[in-house]
Structure 1
Amino acid sequence: MSRYKQDSNCYQIVRSRAGLPTIKANADGREIWLHSPYDPVREAERWASGVTLDDRHVPVVVGLGLGYHVAELARRFPHRKMLVLEPVRKLYDMAISEPQVTGLLSNNDINLFVGDDASALDSFLTQNVNLYGKEELEFIEYPPLARFFREEFDQIERRMVDGLNTLSLSLNTTLALSKAWTDNFFANLPYIIDNPGVKELFGAFSGRPGVIVSAGPSLSNNIHLLKDVKGKGLIIVVGTAVKPVLQSGVIPDLVVTIDGSLPNYRHFEDLVTRDFPLAFYPSAYPIIISEHSGPLLTMNDVFFGHWLQKITGQDKGWISTGPSVANVSFDIAVQLGLNPIVFIGQDLAFTGGHTHASGTVYAKDAPDGALLEVTGINGGTVRTDRTLNAMRDWLNKRISLLPDNIEVINATEGGAKIEGTKVMTFREAIDRYFNEDFPAGEIIRKTCNNAPPLSEKKKARLIKTLIKARAKMSKISASASKGMLYAEKLKRCYEKKAINQSRVDTLLQKLDRVDEKIKKCREASRLLNLLYQPAQFRLEVSFEPADDESEKDKGRRLADKSQILYLGIKEAAEHAAEIIGAVVSKLDGRKDGLSGASTLSESIPALPGTEHSDRLPGQVDYNAL
């Protein structure tokens, strides 16, 4: 933003000829009116008369100013949800004292975001945008403001689009892998409770240099230099890159894995793993964890972490989760205190027409489909896709939040530009920063070896909690089955020629009682949130009312919706009961399943061979059932 635009003295609220307040801006000696100097209300009316919106459109008004245009839009489209972005905080701080602005803020249909912080914008979008796709956002600019704040408006709109893309990818991943992540968490539970968390290492490497090795195509060009870092800084390797790093003769100080799908196992298959510590996300593919013969560390899980911590008292460490294992590795590096943090293999683009470095499982030619062009590390443009760009956008935001004294070096020598990084070759970074002997690997091994497992008393408490949760799942399933039955009977009522309102009221009361019984199992139902997401998605995107919907049609539609609701709850509860029973058998050392229950499989739950994502569970804020 231009310096004069940040200065509150740049703006002056004065009276228009109509007697209403308006804003005059001074730009390098020029006077510019941000609302009409004659009649700002009439100006807003003329502008709003040209705005057309479909029923599905949610207007995103960029620029608040004194709010005349927003008020007129709200008047023309009453009870229409509206997002308003005001990127210039100095302007907002002046305008908030004006009555017409404070009046707008009391309108529950208007959701206002002030400033240009990307992380805060992401939170705003999560809270105010229907991520299930029922809404279509329509950017609308008010010309007098847009002309003056062109740079600021372009930036906030780009950040909003990037944020929506990231949230969309997160949601799609959650829908595709919700069952696998739940299965994985409970299969990994014995390893989660008996191994230390990354929190034990927070601050342990303060001021020490470290390198994060990712699997981008450019890694092939400088991986041979990694041996010069060994013993002089911390080497963190993403799971995707572990094979080529080991083949180069370097033992990583820490390997990070998060992906919960079967293809992730190929990175570790047939490796000798006793020589390197592995930090795993709780929903990572279970066989990777169970077969690892070296030290293990874990971290808190975004879906189950608070639940588990409440029972065991263990805080494994909260890591800022991003779209990929490289993002998670970066936040681990920050939490450990590394400074500087050096990237290699962090292309985030299809450098040389390739997807990954040679020697990795996923190495192949770049796709021919629709790609994005972004600024390259050395200028010009490079090709990438939405997924890689979401990873880059996450890094841009995370780096912008770091203290000024923390240096982030991009020594990838190829790929996309990452904002806030210093660019140099890997050789230059090594010569400048990695000059002192430092046994980073030994510190991690010692921490892992000295960490005690969960006490037997707390383990017994966990087992008792799980057994109770499994019993609650049976009650939830039984209640949901009744709900399905009542919903079917309700639908039949609306299919008859004459609606028996007394019968309808009785069935609705029974459904209310079903809901109350499920709510009484709230603590257990929190474990269903992730499993329930596909059904929740179906409910959100289906069962839209028709324009000419009759009372009977509405009744049938809501009855069908109720059946999907209860079926989703029933299936989630039954699956949760199965996997909880299996983990209790493991934790308790039983061979015959749970007392009073059918024998449960002791094997790790079968997982779908889903498409590779290398991504974490989404960060969508779901409502408890």
Structure 2
Amino acid sequence: MKDFFQSNLACIAITNPNLAYKLQNLKPNNRYEVFMSEDIANYNIYDKQEQVSLFATQPLQESMKRFEELKGYAYYPYLYFYGFGNGVLYKLLLSSEVLKRLVVFEPELEMLFIALHFIDFSQEILDKKLVIICSQNLSYQEVANLFDEDKRSKLYAKTYMLEIFNAYYERYSQKFFELNHYFIKAIEHAVVSVGNDAHDAIVGIDHHIQNLPQALNSPTLVELITQLKGRDTAIIVATGPSLYKQLPLLKEIAPYATLFCIDASFPILYQHGIKPDVVLSLERVEATAKFYEETPKEAFEGVVFALTSIVHPRLKKAVEDKGGLIQYSFRPFGYTTYFGIDSYGYLGIGMSAANMAYEMVVHSRFKRCIIIGQDLAFGEDGSSHSKGAIYGSDEIKPRENKVYVTKYGGGGEVESTQVWKMFLNFYERDIANTPYPLEVINSTEGGARIEGSKEVSFKEAIASIPREIKAPIILTFPRVEEVEENMELVSKRCQTWLKEGKSKQKKIEKVFLKVAEFCDELEKLNEANELEKIDYKKMDKLYKEIDKIKDFFKDPIFGATFIDALQSYIFHQEMDIAKVLVKNTQDEMQRRAKQIELIFLHKYWLFSLAGGMDSVLEVVKKATKTWKKVKKS
């Protein structure tokens, strides 16, 4: 009998080194015994602790029966299971060409150790078609990462179902429900983070292109990160209700720690005689300009204003008018990476300036990061922001549809909002994915718990900061020749964007008109009760044309220049399309009914796609006209 363990382990070591390490060091024959038969696929596993077998009768017979029960998932590209069992069921499921990824959670490492000896999963593991996760000490972030690693899996969020291997795993019901809760939370975050407002994305493109001349004249993000390297402690200052009580201690420690302040906290710090080192703004909304407009000019001296390229022109002007030193960076969107000027990117994968500050801290390799004012929840008095906030401490009101999160210190929950909860999720994800041992301390002393951080009082947290006066941040600006070269590059890329985009838009509109006409024919046949006259050959031909349009998404230029804006138009439609795509059709009539349903869904999808592209192209054309020629020195 061939032993497949080493080949399986070698592939797991590539895709999941931590799991490979655990399996390599496992002491076998502890809890389970293996009972073989002449057929390798018919082996059973006995649990000595629970005194029960994995299979109650014949293993292969039960596996085949379970496989038949799961035939309803024949068209599902993404499947999720609890319990690895003896692995036979999954070898059967993995034979499907439709299946893109099968994720299996196993609570007992020894069970997995056994199964990997008897069946060869090496190629499926290497291709990431099979993802195995040991669910001992499983965190929410490991589940959330599944949707980050495979972006298309988000489209099938509405088809999610966590299946159990067999009755043996019912003893883990509590862990099963906890895992299911993680999935629901992760799916909610994945869907919400895509957004449902295409206008915001298009405004971001508009601002980014308008701001490119100023951005490329500013010091690079690489330059700022380089100047921040080698520092000991960063303090991220947010604007939650708890900030006010921390200000005296913050003023005391400000000369020694590097202060990263979000835009809304900037005026509050000035009011209390505290000068931050870096002030961050990442959003496109005009209202954020007020934080700078209402802060006196002297507050801007010696401060670096780290702005993303999508900020509103009014905000940019407010900082420029006060003489502030601006350092621009690009957020990690397709349309920013498209220009290929990587020295200015990429920060702001999270949704708030505080998330962006944490990313900057990590890139700068600080030893310690202390967070204050990051409540992400309403205060006990119902306040949403600190005293002294420009828009008032009650800027955001509690809503009827209340959202709750775990409170700082544990032992209960606090009221939050959907947006704050999303910021919290990004924070927790970033902390979990930090690539080096950064000490993250949450000294907010109020609001929400941030998983992955230590909860320590601000007084205790700052006690260990070395009392050495920090060096000022001195940034070098790019040479004129570099600026001109980069501007020439972005100008050419914008021309390509417009040319390629217009060509593809016309093709989409042409297919849309054909599909719309065919849908009208179907509706007329339905009204006349003459559905037998449907021209299925014509419908099949239209499907091929739709598939050619979908091939656009494989084009790197199309993906970079349009996806960020278009996803808000089409993402929710594609989730509805996915629900229909996975329907299991038993006969020709059902298959045709499914095709008709899909053709109607794609009619609106094509319309939205063409319309969204038109909006993007108009914005790009107008934004490039705002550029002033860069003068040669």
- TM-score bracket, normalised by the shorter chain, equals 0.7 to 0.9
Give the Cα separation in 1 of the matches to 2:540 and 2:192.
43
| Secondary structure, aligned partner of 2:475 | helix
User: In the TM superposition, what is the alpha-carbon distance from 1:45 to its structure 2 partner?
Assistant: 7.8
Bigger CA drift: 383-392 or 210-219?
383-392
Q: Which residue identity is paired with 2:384? A: T
- 1:37-52 matched pairs, under 5 angstroms: 39-41=58-60
Instruction: Indicate yes or no: 2:619 matched with 1:579.
Output: yes
Instruction: Indicate yes or no: 2:211 matched with 1:179.
Output: no
Is residue 260–residue 278 contact of structure 2 (8 Å, CA) maintained in 1? yes
Q: Select which of 114, 122, 145 maps to 2:133.
A: 114
Q: Select which of 447, 450, 462 maps to 2:475.
A: 447
String of CA shifts for 1:1-60, please: whole Å, max 9, x gaps. Answer: 9xx99844335451168984333456xxx4655614864456668989999989999864
Is residue 210–residue 234 contact of structure 1 (8 Å, CA) maintained in 2? yes
User: In the TM superposition, what is the alpha-carbon distance from 1:408 to its structure 2 partner?
Assistant: 1.7
Give the Cα separation in 1 of the matches to 2:113 and 2:478.
53
Q: Select which of 527, 530, 542 maps to 2:561.
A: 527
User: In the TM superposition, what is the alpha-carbon distance from 1:395 to its structure 2 partner?
Assistant: 3.1
User: In the TM superposition, what is the alpha-carbon distance from 1:516 to its structure 2 partner?
Assistant: 10
Instruction: Indicate yes or no: 2:270 matched with 1:241.
Output: no
Aligned to 2:112: 92
User: In the TM superposition, what is the alpha-carbon distance from 1:245 to its structure 2 partner?
Assistant: 2.0
Q: Select which of 528, 532, 538 maps to 1:504.
A: 538
Q: Select which of 487, 491, 508 maps to 1:463.
A: 491
Is residue 211–residue 341 contact of structure 1 (8 Å, CA) maintained in 2? yes
| Secondary structure, aligned partner of 1:348 | coil
| Larger helix percent | 2
User: In the TM superposition, what is the alpha-carbon distance from 1:559 to its structure 2 partner?
Assistant: 5.3
Aligned to 1:613: none
Aligned to 2:280: 256
Q: Select which of 373, 396, 399 maps to 1:345.
A: 373
Give the Cα separation in 1 of the matches to 2:93 and 2:590.
31
| Secondary structure, aligned partner of 1:367 | coil
Is residue 412–residue 426 contact of structure 1 (8 Å, CA) maintained in 2? yes
User: In the TM superposition, what is the alpha-carbon distance from 1:412 to its structure 2 partner?
Assistant: 1.2
Bigger CA drift: 228-237 or 527-536?
527-536
Instruction: Indicate yes or no: 2:189 matched with 1:166.
Output: yes
Is residue 22–residue 34 contact of structure 1 (8 Å, CA) maintained in 2? yes
User: In the TM superposition, what is the alpha-carbon distance from 1:214 to its structure 2 partner?
Assistant: 1.1
User: In the TM superposition, what is the alpha-carbon distance from 1:201 to its structure 2 partner?
Assistant: 3.0
Aligned to 2:216: 193
Is residue 285–residue 312 contact of structure 2 (8 Å, CA) maintained in 1? yes
User: In the TM superposition, what is the alpha-carbon distance from 1:460 to its structure 2 partner?
Assistant: 1.9
Instruction: Indicate yes or no: 2:310 matched with 1:283.
Output: yes
Q: Select which of 331, 356, 378 maps to 2:385.
A: 356
Q: Select which of 438, 448, 455 maps to 1:406.
A: 438
Aligned to 1:301: 331
User: In the TM superposition, what is the alpha-carbon distance from 1:341 to its structure 2 partner?
Assistant: 0.9
For residues 32 and 407 of structure 1, do their structure 2 counterparts lie closer, same or farther at Cα, with a shift above 3 Å needed? farther
User: In the TM superposition, what is the alpha-carbon distance from 1:538 to its structure 2 partner?
Assistant: 5.4
| Secondary structure, aligned partner of 1:351 | coil
For residues 122 and 362 of structure 1, do their structure 2 counterparts lie closer, same or farther at Cα, with a shift above 3 Å needed? farther
Give the Cα separation in 1 of the matches to 2:185 and 2:552.
38
String of CA shifts for 1:254-283, please: whole Å, max 9, x gaps. Answer: 111222234444444433464332212333
Give the Cα separation in 1 of the matches to 2:593 and 2:174.
50
Is residue 216–residue 348 contact of structure 1 (8 Å, CA) maintained in 2? yes
| Secondary structure, aligned partner of 1:280 | strand
String of CA shifts for 1:306-355, please: whole Å, max 9, x gaps. Answer: 64443xx4422333722432222112112112221111112233331332
User: In the TM superposition, what is the alpha-carbon distance from 1:382 to its structure 2 partner?
Assistant: 3.5
Instruction: Indicate yes or no: 2:462 matched with 1:424.
Output: no
Aligned to 2:399: 367
User: In the TM superposition, what is the alpha-carbon distance from 1:374 to its structure 2 partner?
Assistant: 1.5
Aligned to 1:23: 45
Instruction: Indicate yes or no: 2:158 matched with 1:134.
Output: yes
- 1:564-575 matched pairs, under 5 angstroms: 564-575=604-615
Is residue 63–residue 89 contact of structure 2 (8 Å, CA) maintained in 1? yes
| Secondary structure, aligned partner of 1:251 | coil
Is residue 351–residue 423 contact of structure 2 (8 Å, CA) maintained in 1? yes
Q: Which residue identity is paired with 2:204? A: W
| Secondary structure, aligned partner of 2:254 | coil
Unaligned stretches of 5+ residues in structure 2: 1-17
Is residue 83–residue 169 contact of structure 2 (8 Å, CA) maintained in 1? yes
Instruction: Indicate yes or no: 2:414 matched with 1:382.
Output: yes
| Secondary structure, aligned partner of 1:369 | coil
Q: Which residue identity is paired with 1:582? A: K
Unaligned stretches of 5+ residues in structure 1: 591-625
Is residue 22–residue 66 contact of structure 1 (8 Å, CA) maintained in 2? yes
Give the Cα separation in 2 of the matches to 1:13 and 1:296.
66
Is residue 236–residue 256 contact of structure 1 (8 Å, CA) maintained in 2? yes
User: In the TM superposition, what is the alpha-carbon distance from 1:292 to its structure 2 partner?
Assistant: 1.8
RMSD: 4.7
Give the Cα separation in 1 of the matches to 2:392 and 2:156.
30
String of CA shifts for 1:585-621, please: whole Å, max 9, x gaps. Answer: 233549xxxxxxxxxxxxxxxxxxxxxxxxxxxxxxx
Give the Cα separation in 1 of the matches to 2:68 and 2:550.
48
Give the Cα separation in 2 of the matches to 1:322 and 1:261.
16
| Secondary structure, aligned partner of 1:372 | strand
Aligned to 2:54: 35
Instruction: Give me the TM-score of the superposition, normalised by structure 1.
Output: 0.76
Aligned to 1:617: none
Is residue 186–residue 579 contact of structure 1 (8 Å, CA) maintained in 2? no
User: In the TM superposition, what is the alpha-carbon distance from 1:521 to its structure 2 partner?
Assistant: 8.3
| Secondary structure, aligned partner of 1:529 | helix
Give the Cα separation in 1 of the matches to 2:70 and 2:224.
55
For residues 434 and 25 of structure 1, do their structure 2 counterparts lie closer, same or farther at Cα, with a shift above 3 Å needed? farther
Instruction: Give me the TM-score of the superposition, normalised by structure 2.
Output: 0.75
User: In the TM superposition, what is the alpha-carbon distance from 1:390 to its structure 2 partner?
Assistant: 4.0
| Secondary structure, aligned partner of 2:270 | helix
Give the Cα separation in 2 of the matches to 1:401 and 1:502.
50
Q: Select which of 8, 14, 18 maps to 2:34.
A: 14
For residues 271 and 214 of structure 1, do their structure 2 counterparts lie closer, same or farther at Cα, with a shift above 3 Å needed? same
Is residue 483–residue 514 contact of structure 1 (8 Å, CA) maintained in 2? no
Bigger CA drift: 187-196 or 45-54?
45-54
| Secondary structure, aligned partner of 2:117 | coil
How many correspondences in the alignment?
577
Aligned to 1:596: none
For residues 369 and 477 of structure 1, do their structure 2 counterparts lie closer, same or farther at Cα, with a shift above 3 Å needed? closer
| Secondary structure, aligned partner of 1:315 | helix
Is residue 141–residue 429 contact of structure 2 (8 Å, CA) maintained in 1? yes
Give the Cα separation in 2 of the matches to 1:509 and 1:142.
39
Aligned to 1:209: 233
Q: Which residue identity is paired with 1:580? A: V
| Secondary structure, aligned partner of 2:343 | coil
Is residue 17–residue 39 contact of structure 1 (8 Å, CA) maintained in 2? no
Is residue 195–residue 453 contact of structure 1 (8 Å, CA) maintained in 2? no
Give the Cα separation in 2 of the matches to 1:198 and 1:538.
34
| Secondary structure, aligned partner of 1:532 | helix
Percent identity between matched residues is 17
Give the Cα separation in 2 of the matches to 1:320 and 1:89.
37
Aligned to 1:125: 147
Q: Select which of 321, 330, 340 maps to 2:349.
A: 321
| Secondary structure, aligned partner of 1:202 | helix
Is residue 338–residue 557 contact of structure 2 (8 Å, CA) maintained in 1? no
Give the Cα separation in 2 of the matches to 1:73 and 1:510.
28
User: In the TM superposition, what is the alpha-carbon distance from 1:242 to its structure 2 partner?
Assistant: 2.3
